[in-house]
Structure 1
Amino acid sequence: MKVEDRVWSSLENVIDPEVGVNIVDLGLVYDVSADEAGDVKIEMTLTIPECPLADEIVDQAKTVAAETPGVNEVEVRLVWEPKWTPAMMNDQAIEEIRSRRASTP
């Protein structure tokens, strides 16, 4: 398995605390690239630019990526274009959010 694929899998462990869904399923991760030395660059966004948990989410993404086998260094770059929309979520995220709403009184 390529380093990029392992990092994508690791990033599924980073949960957006406000939404309760991982950042990959939410569509917040736009790109993961790695060079031969294992230096990884992650390009991602947040649901809103003024997200109060931005530092926490970015730090978690960097930490889980750094713990991935084959990774040497990690750089996380926050971008705001393209702007995130709910249409970027995958079906699993949509289903998880729906089930949370249905179980909330």
Structure 2
Amino acid sequence: METKIDTNALGEKIVRILKTIYDPEIPVDIYELGLIYDVFVNEDYDVKILMTLTSPNCPVAESLPAEVEEKVRSLNDVKTAEVEITFDPPWTQELMSEEAKLELGML
């Protein structure tokens, strides 16, 4: 008997993992910073993450997406993980959560 994994529950696990990854220049995780635009999980447990960086010449442009892929792929239920970087729409401080703004003293 095959056990069916709830893709919503897997999505929540992925978000919890994303909240452990920090932008090295800002003491806030990448999820609360608003760098994650979307997380897609299909029935085969392939994960695609659409994310951005704070700027196109971000010093972690190479390492941050690789870290995201590696950490998401480490989840037992995830078969593959792919990160796609986009700058459309460009990241702005408006994308940050209230929590992130509070953490950075912007509220």
Establish whether TM, by shorter chain, passes 0.5.
Answer: yes
Q: Counterpart of 1:94 in 2: which secondary structure?
A: helix
Please show how residues 80-95 of structure 1 align to structure 2 within 5 Å.
Answer: 80-95=87-102
Deviation of 1:98 after TM superposition, in Å, equals: 1.8
Q: Counterpart of 2:62 in 1: which secondary structure?
A: helix
Match of 2:9 among 2, 27, 34: 2
TM-score normalized by the length of structure 1: 0.88
Cα deviations across residues 3-29 of structure 1 (Å, max 9, x unaligned)?
Answer: 122111110011000112100000000
Amino acid corresponding to residue 96 of structure 2 in structure 1: M
1:43 counterpart = 2:42: no
Determine the C-alpha separation between the residues in 2 that align with 1:72 and 1:36: 10
Q: Counterpart of 2:101 in 1: which secondary structure?
A: helix
Determine the C-alpha separation between the residues in 1 that align with 2:76 and 2:13: 8
Contact kept in structure 2, 1:46 and 1:84, CA below 8 Å: yes
Determine the C-alpha separation between the residues in 2 that align with 1:15 and 1:42: 16
Of 33-42 and 2-11, more deviation after overlay is shown by: 2-11
Q: Which has the higher strand share?
A: 1
Please show how residues 1-105 of structure 1 align to structure 2 within 5 Å.
Answer: 2-98=9-105
Show the counterpart of 2:4: none
Q: Which has the higher helix share?
A: 1
Amino acid corresponding to residue 43 of structure 2 in structure 1: E
TM-score normalized by the length of structure 2: 0.86
RMSD: 1.4
In the alignment, structure 1 segments of 5+ residues that lack a partner are: 100-105
- Matched residue pairs, number? 99
